[in-house]
Chains A and B, each alone.
Chain A
């Protein structure tokens, strides 16, 4: 399934999160928005590492990967990914309800 979230999280900047998932597993995540991060290639590596993990582990994994790549992020918090994914999945569950 695929869903997109657009909104502001605790980090304060606009986040657009596109989530592709099967069951409770992430197939792919794309993060776009007004936030800041450096080094940028480290951010992109952390983003790529989100494929194949449980949806419930998005924020924790992203935080770990950012730290592993020495990335400083401003305007976005790892937990914002969990909130966005929860909103997407809640909407999907609502759309699937009778």
Chain B
């Protein structure tokens, strides 16, 4: 692939990701109205929960993952000055993601299958109790598997791009096997090469990770988390497909105790939480480390420390899953404490990441803030507000009051995802836009976009969180009225509408800069 082809690939990913963000936003608004007991005649509980099942898949895999993929398919070769390993694999990941998300969306919309993204065993397979159709289970499982297959293809392509020597060289030295890539990845991502060097008493050995720019180190270390995640969640998709197919056979007997529900929950959360660390924390850190020095024409503060922090984040991420299970009383107490203590470790890693970014900006005073820098600063505020809420709820004692409330999904989840992660992605979009299209987006409209998204996201999240402190649950409808939670839901709706307006301003900015026909032509065969 030449650079022009990579630009088109990257833009295609980003445009599709933005469509998915818009779709997730519409779903969010509709569900918000339904929670307020509006639109009751339009969609019932089954429809509501099926929408809630699709929402995180569209928002996380459709928006966040596809935007990250688009950015990395351009940035990683750009930073390393080499080509993407496989163009075919790049487009395979593109179509697998779209097909998988479309399958999940269609299945939930048509059949009202609603196991939610948590997929707690045996809820997704409770055909008789919950009234699911076995065909819906097969179709949903296929959708999940397709998405995660797309994710795996993407990460293999990334690892191969980073670790394989350029093709011309590699054909002569015969290092193009998957085993070689996996070995390089494990040695480099976990600094195992350094440990081996120490064991062999090699003096003054420099770890291989230092051969790569900090951004690329964040990419491959974050990719370790998200690859493991893909194996676990993709595995659940395959289980659903298999059991659903079995239910279609005549005389099939339901056995809901096929898998131990607590062990399943542990494995599931271990895998699922790796998205939070890989995609949300490590990729974000890597993007900050790239954009901030680039925009300031400066070097990153404390690069050696930053590399260690990314490694620490990767290690911590493997031991935090239990903070999702603090309300499971049969869980061994030692695991509960492990989840709590390791989660506090994220305060250290994220705190040092933010310190490095702010110190870089401070060192480059006086700063002329361009749109990407402003978005980075706003996203840091999102991580501070959402991250602190996350650490508070992840304690055994406080979890008794916060678990499954609007606090978790509002102050922590949505502020972290919409203000923290999404504003980082927008920072990357604003930074890449001139490189990919040769045109600049309007700065004033970018400011309006930023203000509406940040204030709207924080207002929505805080209002939800305050309702959560009062006891309002997430994943819950209150058919008999919202009672004391109602004022908070009104404010949250206002915040959501502000965010939607901000997104509309961004779309207007893009369309008036490049034109709608240019965007449509992007998806036509290129000469």
Chains A and B come from one and the same complex: no
